[in-house]
Chains A and B, each alone.
Chain A
Amino acid sequence: MSVDSTPDQTTGDGSNTEALPRRKRATLVDHSIRYGFLGLLLGLIVFFSIFASGFAGPRSAVFIFQSVAITGILALGVTCTLVVGGFDLSIGSVATSSMMLAAYMMVIFEQSAFVTIVACLAMGAFIGLINGLLIVKTRVPDLLATLGMMFLLVGLQRIPTEGRSIATGMTLPDGSTAEGTFSPFFLAMGRHRIDLVLEDLIPVSVIFLIVIGILVWIFLEMTRHGRLMYAIGSNERAASLTGTNVNNYKIMAYMISGTLASVGGMLLAARLGRGDIASGTNLLLDAVAAALIGFAVLGAAKPNAFGTAMGALFVGILLQGLTMMNAPYYTQDFIKGFVLVIALVFTFSLSARKAGSH
C-alpha cells in the first residue's frame, strides 16, 4: 500500500519541484517529513522487539492489529468527514448504539444475524443522513450538530433497557426474561480466526479493518467522487462553482462515517458477546487521534486513508508494547497525547513551510 501511494503523494504536492534552487536543501527536510513518521514506526517496532519479551512474532502483530481494528474502522469513517472539511463527533456513540442495537435485536427480538447486521448498518447510515441534513440543510455547524447527536444517542441507547446492559437471561423492564442469544455467525465476526501459516492466526475483525481500509483508500484516492470530496474540503465555494453538488457529497461523507461506525459497533458487540452500555467517548478520541496522526504520514498534511491506518497502528503498537513492558496505565494516555502533539507539529509546521516558501 505504501508503494502505491508514494507516487500519488508526490504529484499531490508538486510545489517543491517548482522551487528548483531550493530543491537540494529542501530534499532532506522533505524526506524527513515524508518518511519521518514511518521511520518512527519502524524504530518503535525494533525497540519493542528488543526490550519487550514476546513482542516480536506473528501473534503479537495480529493482536496489535486486532486491538486497533475497531478504532481503526471508526477512524476511517471520521477521515471521510475530515476530507470534506467536516468533523463527526458522534462516531463513538454511533458505535456503542450499534452494539446495543445488535444485542437488542438478537437477545430480545431474537432475530437472525443477517437481520441484525442490516438493522445496524441501516441505523448507522440513517444517523449519518440526519447528521448530514442537520449540517447541510439547517446550517448547524458540524461540530455542534454531531455533538448534539452524540448526546442524543448516549441517552437513546439506554432508554429501551432502562440503562442496563443487554445479555442473555437478563430481566426485562416488564419482568420477563430475555431468551434470545447471540447468533454464532454474528459472534464469529469478532471472534473467529482464520488459519494463515499458523493455526487460528488472523481474527476476522482485522480482515474487516484491512478490507475497509483499502476500500476507503481506493474511494478517496482513485475515484472522481473522492477527488471531489477533497476539492470540497480545500475550497467549498470553488468546488460548488465548478458544478459539484457539495451538499450531496457532504451528506454522503457523514453517511459513510455513520455506517463505518456501526460496523465498528457490531465488531465490538461480537467480541464482548453482550450489549454493554458505554458512552463511546474513548472510541471517539482514539479514532480522532488516529486520523489526525495520519495527517503526518508521508507528509500528506491532509486527511488520508493510508495515514489513518498507519496512525491507528502506531497508537496500537505503542500501547501494546508499553503494556507488555508493564508500564502503568496513566503513561498510556500521556504517550498517546504526546504522539498526537508531535504529529500535529509535523503536519502544521510542514504546511506553514510550504506556504512560506512561495
Chain B
Amino acid sequence: MKIVRRTALAMVASIAASATLLSGGIANAEMPAPLDNPGDVKIALVRYLSTGDFFQAYLSGVEAQAEALGVDLRVFDSRQDAALQADMVDQAIALGVDGIVIQHGLTESMKEAAQRAVDAGIKVVAFDVNVENEAIPQIEQSDYLLGKLALEQAIEDNGNEWKAGYVYVPGIAPLDRRHVAWEEIKEANPGIEEVAQMGTLDNPIANSNANQARSVLQANPDISVFFAPYNEFAKGVKIAVDEAGMSSDVSIYSADVSTADIAQMREPGSAWKATVATNPAVVGEVSVRALAMMLAGEDPGAQVIVPPTLITQAFLNENDISNMEDLSAKLPQFAHADVAMTDWMPLPPR
C-alpha cells in the first residue's frame, strides 16, 4: 500500500506538471501535420466486442481522446461477428479514413484485413488482438501483471501457505494470460495448494459462479483464499462466501473493477480484499494516442502496455471511495497512463 501511495504522489506531481505544460500546448495548437488540421482527419474504431461495462468504458475513452484531438471518429461495431469485423475494415478503407483502431477480434479473420488497410496507406493500431503485422503496434493491458499483482497481494496478506480456490475458464485470451501468473505463483510457493478449480461464463456470470462457488466451499471448507481473476467471477464468489457465512475465513483476490465492485469490496467485513485493474477508458485513450503518434509520423513502439493498478479494500476505505470517478481522483495512475505521450498531445479534460 505504501508503494502505491508513494507512486500515487509521484504521479500527481507529474500529472500536475504535464497538465500545465499541455494546456500551454493546446493553446498554441502546435500539433504536427496532419493533425494541425484535425477536422480533416478521419479515424475508425472497428470493434469485435461491445457489450458490457468494460467495452462501454473503452469506447468512452476512445471518444474522449478523439474529441481532445479534434479528429472525426467513426465507430464500426461488429457485435462478435468475426467475418463482419473484417468487412468493416474494408468499409473503413473505402471511406478513406486515415487511421484505424482494431479492438479485439480473431487473429485469423483480422490478419489479412489489417494488411489490406496497411497496404492502403492507413495507420493501424490493434487493441488486445494480435494481427501478426510489424507495421501495427499492439495496445495491451497487461493481463499477466493483473494476475501477478493480485497474487502478490494475496501472499502479502496471507503468507505463502494456504488452500486456494481458483476460478478459470480456459480459452479466453485474457484469462489465459492471467492463468500464467497463477501457475508461476503456485510453482514458486509450494505451500499454496489449489484444492478446487471452477468457473463458467454462463450469464448472468456472477449468479452462475455463485452457485458453483457455493458447492466448492461446501466441499472444501478449508479454503482460505479464492483467486478469481475477473470481477464477475469475484462477485459470484463473494455471494457464495456470504451465503456460506464464511466472510471472515475467506479472502478474495481478483482483477478488474467497476463502481458496483467498489461497493462490494467496501461492505463491512467483505471477503473481497483486493483487485488489480487497468482503467478501460485509459486504454481507449492510449489506443487513440498511439494512432495519433503514427499519423504524425512518430513511432509509439511495437507494444504499448498500459500498466495495471493495485486497489485494496483498505485503500478504498481509507479514502472513502464510492465510485470510479472517486477512484480516478484518488488514484491518479488509474485515471491516466503516461504511455503513448508526446509533448504536443492534447489530453481529454477531467
Interface residues of A (CB under 8 A from B): 52-55, 59-60, 63, 66-67, 70, 96, 99, 162-165, 167-171, 177, 191, 200, 203, 268, 271-274, 276-283, 319-321, 323-326, 328-329, 332
Contacts and interface: CB of A to CB of B under 8 A. Distances in A.
B254 to A, nearest CB: 16
Interface stretch (B23-31, B65-73, B317-325): B317-325
B182 to A, nearest CB: 16
Contacts of A203: 243
A177 B239 CA distance: 25
A273 B221 CA distance: 25
B206 A329 contact: no
B262 interface: yes
Given A59-B218, A169-B322, A279 B203 contact: yes
B258 interface: yes
B115 interface: no
A326 B197 contact: yes
Interface stretch (B48-56, B83-91, B94-102, B153-161): B48-56
A223 B204 CA distance: 36
Nearest to A281: B203
Contacts of A320: 211, 214-215
Residue among B219, B258, B262 with most chain A CB within 10 A? B219
Residue among A59, A272, A277, A325 with most chain B CB within 10 A? A272
A301 B24 CA distance: 78
B263 A168 contact: yes
26 contacts: A60-B218, A63-B214, A63-B215, A63-B243, A163-B56, A167-B260, A168-B260, A168-B263, A170-B323, A171-B324, A177-B325, A191-B243, A268-B207, A271-B239, A272-B239, A273-B264, A276-B206, A278-B204, A279-B203, A282-B204, A323-B219, A324-B215, A326-B196, A328-B197, A329-B169, A329-B200
B216 interface: yes
A276 B322 CA distance: 18
A168 B196 CA distance: 33
Contacts of A279: 203
Contact of B219 (A54, A169, A200, A281): A54
Nearest to B201: A329
Contacts of A271: 207, 210, 239
A53 B51 CA distance: 39
Given A165-B53, A268-B207, A328-B197, 20 more contacts: A63-B218, A63-B243, A99-B204, A162-B56, A163-B56, A167-B258, A168-B322, A169-B322, A169-B323, A170-B259, A177-B323, A177-B325, A200-B245, A203-B243, A272-B204, A276-B204, A278-B204, A319-B212, A323-B216, A326-B198
Given A171-B325, A276-B204, A324 B260 contact: no
B207 A319 contact: no
Majority secondary structure, A binding face: mixed
A41 B323 CA distance: 46
A324 B219 contact: yes
A227 B87 CA distance: 54
Given A167-B259, A271-B207, A277-B52, A54 B221 contact: yes
A157 to B, nearest CB: 12
Interface residues of B, number: 43
Interface of B: 50-53, 56, 169, 196-200, 202-208, 210-212, 214-216, 218-221, 235, 239, 242-243, 245, 258-260, 262-264, 322-325
Contacts of B219: 52-55, 323-326
B216 A272 contact: no
B207 A329 contact: no
A60 to B, nearest CB: 6
A272 B242 CA distance: 12
A55 B239 CA distance: 19
Nearest to B232: A276
A174 to B, nearest CB: 14
Contacts of B169: 329
Contacts of B203: 278-282
Contacts of B221: 54
Contacts of B214: 63, 66-67, 320
Nearest to B194: A326
B26 to A, nearest CB: 22
A206 to B, nearest CB: 12
Contacts of A52: 219
Contacts of A191: 242-243
B293 to A, nearest CB: 29
A277 B243 CA distance: 23
A332 B202 CA distance: 11
Residue among A96, A274, A279 with most chain B CB within 10 A? A274
Contacts of B259: 167-171
Contacts of B205: 278
Contact of A272 (B215, B218, B235): B235
B180 to A, nearest CB: 19
A55 B199 CA distance: 19
Given A272-B206, A332-B200, A169 B263 contact: yes
Nearest to B55: A163
Contact of A164 (B56, B208, B264): B56
Contacts of A169: 259, 262-263, 322-323
Contacts of B324: 171
B119 to A, nearest CB: 34
A168 B266 CA distance: 13
Contacts of B243: 63, 66, 191, 203
Contact of B199 (A70, A167, A177, A329): A329
A125 B206 CA distance: 27
A268 B205 CA distance: 11
Nearest to A332: B200
A264 to B, nearest CB: 11
A255 B199 CA distance: 35
A167 B245 CA distance: 24
A147 B205 CA distance: 22
Nearest to B236: A272
Nearest to B325: A171
